[in-house]
Amino acid sequence: MDAQTQPKNFYGAVKIFADGADLATMRKLAGDPLIQGFTTNPTLMRQAGVADYETFALDVLACVSGRPISFEVFADELEEMEHQALTIAAWGANVYVKIPVTNTRGASTVPVLRSLARQGVQVNVTALLTLAQVEAAAEALAPAKAACISVFAGRIADTGRDPVPVMAAAVESLRCYPRLELIWASPRELLNVMQAASVGCHIITVTQDLLKKLPLVGKDLDQYSLETVKMFHEDGQKAALSLPLPARKVA
């Protein structure tokens, strides 16, 4: 099927959330109906040169048209995490507050998750890599009106493990929590979108680099092969590559 005529649900029911912190890009993506939500984090904000957190967040909220947007706490003490979460949650009704699954000393944030859930804060617990972490977070967030659990499938894959069985098991573990959604976080390739859909994951966060590849889905492979050959040839010409001609054999 041609990418231009492909239906918007070619990747299944999984929702596409744009992951990033470049305000200009986020404004542009806000006009794309394919994007159903947004996520960011302190690392992405630092890379984008964000200096004023609240100003940045309010600018983002002004352009995302009420779609879910996750902003992360940056405190390391559990009590301060909760205070920051309440401040961030007050920025808008569509705000989800990202809470890391532990602090930097490995202390579980389950008490924070449980407290925020009871206060009606929409939480996105982040940086999970194991099924045990998913189960503990889900239990803590059970009272929430809405919450997300972000499993970093890409980082699981970085260790040489297949993330698909982990994500499939996580989906099953959340079936008894209808208000919780599972996020396939840190994808490494476009195939991850299809994998997330195939296991029933609710959401996948996708960076701008991967979003640019979405039109490739379903592309004719023979045509893609030819385009690749042409690219190599054209780049060789642009680089002015040359080799000495072989010496002629004397008859």
The set of catalytic residues is 98
Taking phi over 0 as left and psi of -120 to 50 as alpha, with beta for the rest, 186 belongs to left
CA distance 106 to 110: 12
Start-to-end C-alpha separation, the chain: 56
Instruction: Name which of 58, 112, 111, 103 is nearest 85 in CA terms.
Output: 112
For 78, the 3-state DSSP assignment is helix
β-strands 69-72, 35-39: how paired? parallel
Whether the Cβ atoms of residue 47 and residue 21 lie closer than 8 Å to each other: yes
Which DSSP helix (H) or strand (E) runs through 224?
helix 221-238
List, in sequence order, every beta strand (DSSP E) within the chain. Answer: 15-19, 35-39, 69-72, 95-100, 123-128, 147-152, 180-185, 203-207
For residue 89, give Cα distances in angstroms to 85, 86, 144.
Answer: 6, 5, 14
- Taking the C-alpha atoms of residue 218 and residue 223, their distance in angstroms, rounded to an integer, is 11
42, amino acid identity: P
